[in-house]
């Protein structure tokens, strides 16, 4: 049986493919050349001063100033502080949302659908402004609360989907051996759903990190606002591109690091090779935990039956 799922391209098809590839390479090279040409060309500022091209060393000498890097470091720390607190809060809020969203009572489950749609539908920046104006929390907590609400709603929906994707037999088996609905959810269903959705959760945390830049609008001194403050207070438009390029590179490095972690976690979760101690929801830990829960429930039930028989 042939493994080829499509017809082998003939001479004309191969020729068209080569021509399309050459055209694509030429178009990409032309685009890069146009960008380099635009960056290298001198430009006139709004005040009428002429600035050299971006490849002139005078446009980059600001990076030798230690004060610049100190201010950027403060912005990075503020960004990571907001992202770290918001990430922990978003995961915890997402867990609570997933439990309420899958509750047995419709009085709890259906209102949570409305809450989730409201939180996911509101732009993060608008949510920051609402929290700031209504509760007067200050810029930092307005940003943190808005990031927790928005990203927690998405994480909670992901966990709900993970729980819904589990075979129904697992919940039925837990209930059959005497576990209550809550204990079945906590001990059997939730660990598996968390492990399956962990790559999605980490990917959402990457989005959360990027969304911290929106706190610039509400006055929080994160990385982007630190950059603009330096331009306004110290250096002017001469180093506009330079400082924004450095800011972009820092954001890119942080997001690539988180994306790299997400890919590693995804590969290891799929292959069942999570490192020991890396997470309480690894497959071996999960199996041991499930066996312990079942054994404890079975022993309790046997004990109760024995006591009842003696009576």
Q: What is the token pair recorded at 269? A: 């979760």
- Residue boundaries of the structural domains of the chain: 62-276
Of residues 270 and 231, the one with the higher pLDDT is: 231
Closest listed residue to residue 227, CA positions, set 207, 205, 251, 209? 251
Residue 216 in contact with residue 222, Cβ under 8 Å? yes
42 Cβ partners below 8 Å, 6+ apart? Answer: 50, 51, 52, 53
Place of tokens 């030429």: 26
CA dist 44 and 155 (Å) reads 48
Of all residues in the chain, what percent carry a pLDDT higher than 90? 26
Of residues 183 and 162, the one with the higher pLDDT is: 162
Number of other CB atoms surrounding residue 144 within 10 Å: 26
Name the band, by pLDDT with cuts 50, 70 and 90, for residue 298: low
1-5, 55-59, 124-128: the lowest-pLDDT one = 1-5
Of residues 1 and 87, the one with the higher pLDDT is: 87
Q: What is the token pair recorded at 64? A: 């030798």
This prediction's pTM: 0.73
pLDDT at 143 over 90: yes
Of residues 14 and 235, the one with the higher pLDDT is: 14
Name the band, by pLDDT with cuts 50, 70 and 90, for residue 270: low
Which whole number is the average pLDDT over 135-147? 91
DSSP count for the chain of H helices, then E strands? 11, 2
CA dist 120 and 40 (Å) reads 43
Q: What is the token pair recorded at 260? A: 């790299």
Phi, psi values for residue 10, rounded to 5°: -85, -175
What is the dotted CATH code of the domain comprising 62-276?
A: 1.10.3720.10
Closest listed residue to residue 116, CA positions, set 128, 100, 132? 100
Residue 114 in contact with residue 121, Cβ under 8 Å? no
Alpha-carbon radius of gyration of the chain: 28
CA dist 76 and 82 (Å) reads 10
DSSP element (H, E) containing 43: strand 43-44
Return the SS3 of 167: coil
Going through the chain in order, the beta strands assigned E by DSSP cover 43-44, 50-51
- For 18-68, the pLDDT digits (tens) are 899 999 999 999 999 998 888 888 777 666 667 777 777 887 888 888 888
Count of CA atoms in the C-beta half-sphere (13 A) of 205: 27
Mean pLDDT of the chain: 80
């Amino acid at each position: 049986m042939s493994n080829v799922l499509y017809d082998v391209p003939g001479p004309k098809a191969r020729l068209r493919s080569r021509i399309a590839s050459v055209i694509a390479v030429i178009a990409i090279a032309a685009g890069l050349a146009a960008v380099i040409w635009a960056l290298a060309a001198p430009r006139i500022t709004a005040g009428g001063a002429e600035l050299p091209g971006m490849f002139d060393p005078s446009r980059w000498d600001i990076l030798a100033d230690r004060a610049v890097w100190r201010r950027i470091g403060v912005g990075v720390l503020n960004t990571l502080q907001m992202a770290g607190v918001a990430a922990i809060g978003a995961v915890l809020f997402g867990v609570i949302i997933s439990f309420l969203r899958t509750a047995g009572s419709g009085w709890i489950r259906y209102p949570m659908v409305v809450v989730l749609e409201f939180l996911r539908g509101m732009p993060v920046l608008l949510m920051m402004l609402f929290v700031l104006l209504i509760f007067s929390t200050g810029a930092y907590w307005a940003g943190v609360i808005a990031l927790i609400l928005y990203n927690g709603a998405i994480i909670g929906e992901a966990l709900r989907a993970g729980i819904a994707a589990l075979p129904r037999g697992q919940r039925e088996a837990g209930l059959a051996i005497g576990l209550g609905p809550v204990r079945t959810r906590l001990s059997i269903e939730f660990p598996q759903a968390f492990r399956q959705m962990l790559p999605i959760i980490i990917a959402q945390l990457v989005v959360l990190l990027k969304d911290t830049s929106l706190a610039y609008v509400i006055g929080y001194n994160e990385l982007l606002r630190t950059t603009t403050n330096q331009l306004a207070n110290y250096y002017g438009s001469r180093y506009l591109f330079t400082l924004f390029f450095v800011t972009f590179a820092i954001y890119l490095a942080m997001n690539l690091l988180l994306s790299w972690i997400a890919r590693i976690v995804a590969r290891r979760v799929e292959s069942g090779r999570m490192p020991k101690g890396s997470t309480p929801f690894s497959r071996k830990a999960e199996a041991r935990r499930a066996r312990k829960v079942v054994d404890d429930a079975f022993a309790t039930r046997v004990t109760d039956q024995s006591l009842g028989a003696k009576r």
